[in-house]
Structure 1
Amino acid sequence: MTSWLSFGAEGFPLRSEVWPAGLVLLHAVADGVIAASFLIIPAALLYIHKRRGESNPGETALITLFALFILAVGLAHFASLVALWAPTQGIEGLLKAAAALLALTTAIVIWKLAPQLLRLPSRDRLQAEVAAHLRTFEELKGARHQLEERVEARTKELEEAKQRFEIALRGSPISVFSQDRDMRFTWAHNAPAGLSPEFLKGKTDAEVLPAEAAAVIMAAKRKVMETGTAEELETDFELFGRKRSFYLLIEALRNGNGAVLGTTSVAVDVSERKANEDQLRLLLRELTHRSKNLLAVIHAIARQTASRTRSVEDFLDRFSARLCAIGCSHDLLIADNWQGASLRMLVEQQLGEHAEQFGETIAIEGEDVMLKPEAVHNLGLALHELATNAQKYGSLSDPRGQVRIEWQFCEEASKLKLVWQERGGPPVTPPQRSGFGRAMIETVIGQALEGDVSLSFPPKGVRCVIVIPSAQVTSRG
């Protein structure tokens, strides 16, 4: 049965029959251990190679051949172990031949792969490379930490700058916008009242503003994108039922390469400034008109005063006093922005030289009313002439004299009636001729204010009644 295992060696004695028992035991143990080890080693090599999973085809082939070679040698030793007691020299030879063939193949493959194997780093080189990588890792870790600190500091600076930017614009009439090349809003901050960033985003000026204003603004923005030069303009339009005026500064928005991405605009609401300018122009026109009228009045007063005086000194005294009366009325008007003046303050100011007598010999009664500028000038001159006459010839020239000035509305409040009444002074005799003061009170004042003036001279004291339309009154109380 075993003839095919011995390849014709049946006639030869077995080794266990020829060799001493000790030698047989030595070979048996050695071959058994070698066979078992050479069976375990290939399995370990293949397991390690598979678990590593990092090899090229050449390395895989080499390890596979080496494992097969060791396996063949192990089987050959196993056959030697069996051959001690059985005629299996044929199988033993075949296994040794296979091991020889695998050994030769492995040697050839190793020499072919030698250049690649030589390029594999040694342990010291690997350790050096690992150490270098660790140092690089630590350096990168430090650089990352520094970068994070710089980013954190820069982020903090940007947050602070943004906060300052928002605080500076908060509550101010300044708005900032950015738009793309299609002139659609991409960002807005501190938008004008009634417009929010969410409402503006994605829209064009034509979708937000009146057509005429949008056309002007969009034309300026196109020019900025074409030329790259900033543009300034002022525009007026109605927004949410209110006339608004804006100053615009438009600049090109560029990327890092200098290409124009759109526009950035700063809009300053100058509506209040424009309104103030319009009001100022109106006031200047009104001031010019009133100044001309005032100069005409002063010219007339100068001529009339000069025609009724006999000396330069007398002219200067009278003319200066009348200029002072005009100046007092002027001061009252300036104090209230030329909107008018209080009648009570006008009376008190024209009788200012006798202020210590207010409430005693001089009685002033009537609700406080605000008069228009024209009424203030004319009534001021009338009160000055009456006070001057009373001081020279009437009640104010006598310590026992009294003056009562009162006013009230009459005829269903359609007119304001002012009464000047003197008592207790020297007996009054009607003047023989009409002086400047009387002519101005009776003629000029009444005509200028479209009212009625009655000036009488009863013996007990001068009485003057001035009635003017309530249209000359701006407010009551």
Structure 2
Amino acid sequence: MPFLFGADGPDLRLEAWPAGLTLLHAVADGIIAATFLLVPGVLLYVYKRRGEGGGREAALLKLFLLFVFAVGLVHFAALISQFMPAPGLEGVLKGAAALLAIATALGLWWLAPHLLRVPSRDRLKSEIAAHLNTLEELKDARQQLEERVEARTKELDEAKQRFEIALRGSPISVFSQDKELRYTWVHNLPAGLKSEELIGRTDAEILPAEAADKIIAVKRQAMETGDSQELEIDFELHRRVRSFYVVMEPLRDEAGGVIGVASVAVDISERKANEDQLRLLLRELTHRSKNLLAVIHAIARQTASRTRSVDDFLDRFSARLYAIGCSHDLLIADDWHGASLRMLVEQQLEAHAAGFGRRIAIEGEDVMLKPEAVHNLGLALHELAANAEKYGSLSDPHGEIRINWQFCEDAEKLKLVWQEQGGPAVSPPRRSGFGRTMIENVVGKALAGDVKLSFPPKGVRCEILIPAAQVTSRG
């Protein structure tokens, strides 16, 4: 190849090189120098942008790039030497490149075991795929957990709603307190109390002293023993005495230690009031039963003393007992508070109800009578009706009865008038019978009022003055 080495073979002296060979060396050195100088800069820029600027690998990489850069300088010096010979500079650069090469080789030797532990590309792909698979599984697990949490949250909301509905409008209140017995949570408080009045406070700061001492002692006992406690207590709340039945349970943490107390308080004020009312009614019933038995006994004796046969006694006595029973039914219908005067009159004349409005006129503002007045006035009306059936207006188809009542001018008494007319002519009786005695003496005295029974020819007339104290209300 004479173009490269000349006609006489290779001559290693630079000045003996052919022009073509010199140009080839120059171009090659230039390209190699440019590449070796550019590549380290590009790699270093990429390395920095990737953020991988630390560790032993980074130091070795920088050393290697410096070595490549030095080799590039060597080739650049060789290029210059072809036109301006500088063997000293070229030698220094080559020596530096050699030292960097040795340092790089030693670094690689020292770092080789670590580099062997660096996962291969296939291994990295496998690990990445495994991680991606794990990520998908985690996403699925997260979705399942979110669905479970949502379901549990819905269940809790429904349970809370049922809990609130169950307690809403009920007399049941629920509380929780910490170890110092300060309220931490309350729900469905009794009327008159607000949650902000309780949270953070103790019973001693809220309740009357005597009640607070009792309930605090029982709550401490529940925390000390770990057993539930019960207490029924009365105290004044907003100027009204209230009664509560309280159940207290110790609150525990996950380790089982007592951290406070939970309480359920049931307002039994109404129940106790009903019990008191029931006891009062039972006492009243006992009292009235004794009085009623005494009246029945008196009726039985008086009836027996004025009858000549057992059948006559049974008829009269049964009728009078029935009259008492009718009055009793009216009282029971209104829980023994009293009975309507109009209903009492209509009931005692029930056998002649077909004549109401025609033969029997009932007039007057309706009023409510007390139980004592109902019993006695019922007996009086029965006796008047029984007498009218046998001898008076109700024994004649043309007879009439007018019953009316009104308050007197002073409104201290209620005046009831029984007036018969159109029946057989009446003459005063020659002796006082049981009915007359009952009306004039027993009923009048029992009502603490006045009774006037007269027998004008046109028909029996009876005036009964009932004190206003025997009237509970007006219609």
Q: Name 1:101's counterpart in structure 2.
A: 99
Alignment partner of 1:430 out of 409, 428, 431: 428
Mapped contact 1:15–1:84 kept (Cα < 8 A): no
Alignment partner of 2:179 out of 170, 177, 181: 181
Aligned length: 465
- Deviation per residue, 1:370-427 (Å, 9 max, x gap): 2211111111111212221222223322333333333333362222222333334334
Alignment of 1:235-246 (within 5 A): 235-246=233-244
Distance 1:95 1:399, change over 3 A: closer
Distance 1:61 1:399, change over 3 A: closer
Secondary structure in structure 1 of the residue aligned to 2:419:
strand
Partners in 1 of 2:187 and 2:238 — Cα distance?
Answer: 19
The answer to whether structure 1 residue 43 and structure 2 residue 41 are counterparts is: yes
Partners in 2 of 1:411 and 1:92 — Cα distance?
Answer: 148
The answer to whether structure 1 residue 73 and structure 2 residue 71 are counterparts is: yes
Instruction: Normalising by structure 2, report the TM-score.
Output: 0.90
Distance 1:464 1:17, change over 3 A: closer
Distance 1:130 1:317, change over 3 A: same
Q: How far did residue 14 of structure 1 move?
A: 9.4
Partners in 2 of 1:402 and 1:69 — Cα distance?
Answer: 144
Q: Name 2:199's counterpart in structure 1.
A: 201
Q: Name 1:258's counterpart in structure 2.
A: 256
Alignment partner of 1:461 out of 459, 462, 465: 459
Alignment root-mean-square deviation, CA: 2.4
Secondary structure in structure 2 of the residue aligned to 1:96:
helix
Partners in 2 of 1:164 and 1:22 — Cα distance?
Answer: 102
- Deviation per residue, 1:296-337 (Å, 9 max, x gap): 111111122122222211111111111011111111111222
Mean CA deviation greater in 355-364 or 331-340: 355-364
Mapped contact 1:419–1:464 kept (Cα < 8 A): yes
- Deviation per residue, 1:255-311 (Å, 9 max, x gap): 333333322222232322222222222222211111111111111111221222222
Mapped contact 2:52–2:58 kept (Cα < 8 A): no
Unaligned runs of 5+ residues in structure 1 are 1-12
Partners in 1 of 2:416 and 2:51 — Cα distance?
Answer: 118
Partners in 2 of 1:350 and 1:325 — Cα distance?
Answer: 7
Amino acid paired to 2:102 = L
Secondary structure in structure 2 of the residue aligned to 1:310:
coil
Q: Name 1:452's counterpart in structure 2.
A: 450
Secondary structure in structure 2 of the residue aligned to 1:455:
strand
Distance 1:85 1:368, change over 3 A: closer
Amino acid paired to 1:58 = R
Mapped contact 1:231–1:251 kept (Cα < 8 A): yes
Q: Name 2:304's counterpart in structure 1.
A: 306
Instruction: Normalising by structure 1, report the TM-score.
Output: 0.90
Partners in 2 of 1:406 and 1:40 — Cα distance?
Answer: 132
Alignment of 1:162-173 (within 5 A): 162-173=160-171
Secondary structure in structure 2 of the residue aligned to 1:267:
strand
Amino acid paired to 2:361 = A
- Deviation per residue, 1:3-53 (Å, 9 max, x gap): xxxxxxxxxx99342222222222222222222222223333433333333
Alignment of 1:216-235 (within 5 A): 216-235=214-233
Q: Name 1:118's counterpart in structure 2.
A: 116
Distance 1:18 1:259, change over 3 A: same
Partners in 2 of 1:464 and 1:193 — Cα distance?
Answer: 55
Alignment of 1:78-477 (within 5 A): 78-410=76-408, 412-477=410-475
Amino acid paired to 1:287 = L
Unaligned runs of 5+ residues in structure 2 are 1-10
Q: Name 1:3's counterpart in structure 2.
A: none
Partners in 2 of 1:319 and 1:359 — Cα distance?
Answer: 30
Mean CA deviation greater in 110-119 or 342-351: 342-351
Q: How far did residue 436 of structure 1 move?
A: 1.9
- Deviation per residue, 1:181-204 (Å, 9 max, x gap): 222222222222222223322222
Secondary structure in structure 1 of the residue aligned to 2:249:
strand
Partners in 2 of 1:53 and 1:422 — Cα distance?
Answer: 124
